[in-house]
Structure 1
Amino acid sequence: MVHGLAVPAAVPRGMLVADAWSELGDAVAPLSNASGRPLARTVKLLLDPLVLRPAQNPRFSGGVVDARHVDELRQAILDAGPALAATAAWFQLVKGARRRAGITEGHPQDLYFQRCFELAHLHGDPGVLAGAADIAADTVADVHTERGEVSVDRLRRFLTDPDRSAELTGLLHEAWSRRPELPEPGPGPGLRAFLDDCATAPDPRLWQALADTAAGTAEAADLDRPGVALGHGLTSRDRPAAPELGERASKRDLPRPFDRTVMERLFAALTAGIRRTSTAGVPTLVTEEIRRTAAPWQLAEEPSRVAMALGRDASAGLGADRPEPGSDAGARLLNRWRREPYVHRVLRLPDATALGMEVRGVRGAYLRRLWVRLHGRELRGEATAAGEVWDLLDGALRSVVMDQRHRLKRSLVRGEDGS
């Protein structure tokens, strides 16, 4: 019988679970929806993997349950009732600890349901346990330490903490005041040689030699000269300057890379999903970024700096009136750009500037996109091998092309609508 009804040959599993769940009463309300049925995440995270275990009990799997197993499934849920009630009580405590900690990232049910079930088995009902609130707070801290999760909220609180801002500002000043004078590029392994082969037969030894001789660092020597970084589209200033810590950031209004605050640099990475599985906490992340802002190309790793120098040279013909590709990689990028029909369409538009198109300023857009990708790789701890360089160089242009296509379509649609 299911709640007084005759049982057919097979019963829909969902109906059977809901019927058994209803007998657990208000004690499991935090795990239930407004209709009193178990939440979808309750079934997914608690009932299936921890109570019914259909992988070990195939008779409980599938959309329907054979009549022979109806009572057994129902009893499994009822037997777990005390543990589920304790789980619900722990979940309420843990959610309160999460609010007090100011954490807003991640879905609480995803993060804590199974941990609360574990607490229920370890400690029972928290309502009769001294120190339950402390255990809940420790659980929240453990969950987010294990995830290595650096949320935007936590980052903002750290950067705006009055007790820390003076220290962080001092670190910024120290990093920028100790910037060494960079050597001029000298003889040695050439960027041009690597660009000539990187798309077809990248040479790992040449790539390593470029990094070992700090070719990327040397090629950053002129970035502090008036107008150079500005010409590359990396800053809106005449020359780069030390960033501010920052208090807020928005995806829609991010400055150029060298003009971003520390908050904006890390915000852009975090909102792209970067570093969410890193074990480094906010203090380490911020300290590393402060040092990175004062480094050549404002990147921490030599391979990243070499890649920026390669991108600078390979993109020299993009958007130029009389382009000279200069290398095989440069020719490939230029050909990709010239093949884009929308480029020619925008160039014919009398109001391309009004539409916000950057066809003539594509090189700056390209170098900004390349910098963002290299910055992201550093935050993820991803090394760049010789065989990945062309994909990075070509991928940055593909990304710019896709973005520009979207912007053109959007602008033209707005124009046709009269908006």
Structure 2
Amino acid sequence: MSPATATTARAPATVPRALLIAEVWAEFGADVAPLSNGLGQPLARTVKLLLDPLVLRPVLNPRFAAGPVRGEHVDELRATLREAGPRLAATAAWFTQLKRARRAARITEGNPQDRYFQRCYELASTLGPPGADAPRVAAEVVDEIREAAGELTVEALRRFVTDPAQAAALRAELTAAWAARAATDQGAEVPADPPELAALLDQLASGPDRALLAALLAQGLGSRDAASLAAPGAALDCGLTRRERVVAPELGERASKRNLPPPFDRSVFERLFAGFTATFHRSTMPGLPALVRQEIHRSAAPWQLADEAGRLAMVLGRRASAGLDPERTAGTDAAGTDAAVRLAARWRREPFVHRALRLPRPAGAGVLEVRQAYLRRLWVRLHGRELRGEPLAAEVLWDLLDGVLRSVIMDQRDRLRAVLDRAAVSGGPADPPTGPATDSPADSPSGEERRP
């Protein structure tokens, strides 16, 4: 065996992406300290806001997508990061400048990393490291960002939807949008699942066939499948509403982050409220009038989502989560597609699931409504992507479906612990949890809640 052959044979098939990033990041040292945590590794927001969208760009470079990186792409990923090193160092220096300008302007609202990271990268790309005029540039940028975000606040939203001149027109538009939906739904037939759907679900974890995905999108399967939600109790069974039938939302003017209703029961105000309080991409969102009107028409669309890719993702999640029903997960195997088997197996591996199954049904019911919790959170993440204008690439579909379940498992585990703690204190049987299983602050469109 030649030396080259031996080296190839010893090369690992895959390397964790996080490990590769951490190795190269350590080479940058103190130059990127403002973008690093106490261990000298990149902050989560550094990866989310800088490395992924601006350096590695996994949507355009799927070989750099989250998870393991194939051996033949390891050196290319390292080289890409090293090439961006000087720009990232300049980004870190600009971030320090903008934080000083922020303090001087006595701005306390919002997270400076969320607001400034990407703008600092832009400054680093166009101007290089901060120069003699850096304090002036930083002050101007901070003022500009403050002004741009000033319109998209909860109070501004409340003023807009409660303005008598605006509210009447918005309610009329909401009524008209839902009347058009009713006309479209009338007589709509629910399509049978095409064989391509099962084929796609079998491929998701290993990498979907782009042609297959494109074919399902072209068929409008997500939009057509949404017709099934018009049947009495269908959306209720999915956990998307508390009503037997889906009805048009109110315009609304109040919301509580800790007590948001299921997605289809949220007012237009509540839907946007969650986005204002959780998302950091306000600069990419349109002004209030356009934003509110977009949400009105989104509420009347299939799956109450605007993009066909998101609607198809709901169909995929609905089918893949079929094995999360407690009666099915209690069995020895989960029939169905590869995606469904994987999700059901992840759920069954959790020790708390077996403890919950042994509880009296009234006590364990809220904890075991995992499929409803799953579909609620999947919708919330897809809605958040639409608010932020984030495309849903084929490469992230499985990470999305699997990540939603991981997030739900964490919440359900905490929920069961609370049930058992109450039982231990009272000395009696476990009391049932109150309220829907996952109506929590984590049900926000940011898509980043409890991400492992």
Q: Give the TM-score normalised by the residue count of structure 1.
A: 0.65
Runs of 4+ in 1 over 4 A off after TM superposition: 44-50, 104-108, 186-189
* Superposed displacement of residue 105, structure 1: 4.7
Number of equivalences? 303
* Counterparts of 2:272 and 2:386, CA distance in 1: 12
Are 2:222 and 1:201 aligned?
Answer: no
* Counterparts of 2:150 and 2:99, CA distance in 1: 27
Letter in structure 2 aligned against 1:214: G
* Superposed displacement of residue 144, structure 1: 3.9
Are 2:399 and 1:397 aligned?
Answer: no
Aligned to 2:238: 232
* Superposed displacement of residue 149, structure 1: 5.7
* Counterparts of 1:47 and 1:157, CA distance in 2: 30
Letter in structure 1 aligned against 2:353: V
Are 2:219 and 1:219 aligned?
Answer: no
* Superposed displacement of residue 387, structure 1: 1.4
* Counterparts of 2:179 and 2:161, CA distance in 1: 21
* Counterparts of 1:46 and 1:172, CA distance in 2: 42
* Counterparts of 2:392 and 2:236, CA distance in 1: 26
* Superposed displacement of residue 186, structure 1: 5.7
* Counterparts of 1:208 and 1:48, CA distance in 2: 48
| Mapped contact 1:274–1:376 kept (Cα < 8 A) | no
Aligned to 2:262: 256
Aligned to 1:316: 322
**Identity rate of aligned residues, in percent?**
53
Aligned to 1:328: 338
String of CA shifts for 1:19-73, please: whole Å, max 9, x gaps. xxxxxxxxxxxxxxxxxxxxxxxxx7699789xxxxxxxxxxxxxxxxxxxxxxx
* Counterparts of 2:150 and 2:391, CA distance in 1: 20
Q: Secondary structure, in 3 states, of the residue corresponding to 2:255?
A: coil
* Counterparts of 1:175 and 1:47, CA distance in 2: 44
* Counterparts of 1:46 and 1:294, CA distance in 2: 42
Root mean square deviation, CA, Å = 3.3
Are 2:370 and 1:362 aligned?
Answer: yes
Specify whether residues 219 and 45 from structure 1 end up closer, same or farther in structure 2 by C-alpha distance, changes over 3 A only.
same
* Superposed displacement of residue 270, structure 1: 2.1
Specify whether residues 47 and 299 from structure 1 end up closer, same or farther in structure 2 by C-alpha distance, changes over 3 A only.
closer
| Mapped contact 1:308–1:371 kept (Cα < 8 A) | yes
Letter in structure 1 aligned against 2:391: A
Letter in structure 1 aligned against 2:362: T
* Counterparts of 1:362 and 1:187, CA distance in 2: 23
String of CA shifts for 1:69-107, please: whole Å, max 9, x gaps. xxxxxxxxxxxxxxxxxx99xx6xxx9xx9xxxxx9549
String of CA shifts for 1:298-327, please: whole Å, max 9, x gaps. 000000000000111111121242354411
Q: Which runs of 5+ in 1 are unaligned?
A: 1-43, 51-86, 99-103, 112-116, 123-138
Q: Secondary structure, in 3 states, of the residue corresponding to 1:255?
A: coil
* Superposed displacement of residue 416, structure 1: 3.5
* Superposed displacement of residue 378, structure 1: 0.8
Specify whether residues 156 and 206 from structure 1 end up closer, same or farther in structure 2 by C-alpha distance, changes over 3 A only.
same
Letter in structure 2 aligned against 1:357: G
* Superposed displacement of residue 159, structure 1: 1.3
Specify whether residues 340 and 184 from structure 1 end up closer, same or farther in structure 2 by C-alpha distance, changes over 3 A only.
same
* Superposed displacement of residue 276, structure 1: 2.5
* Counterparts of 1:212 and 1:144, CA distance in 2: 41
Letter in structure 1 aligned against 2:310: S
Aligned to 1:375: 383
* Counterparts of 1:262 and 1:302, CA distance in 2: 21
Specify whether residues 397 and 46 from structure 1 end up closer, same or farther in structure 2 by C-alpha distance, changes over 3 A only.
closer
Specify whether residues 416 and 158 from structure 1 end up closer, same or farther in structure 2 by C-alpha distance, changes over 3 A only.
same
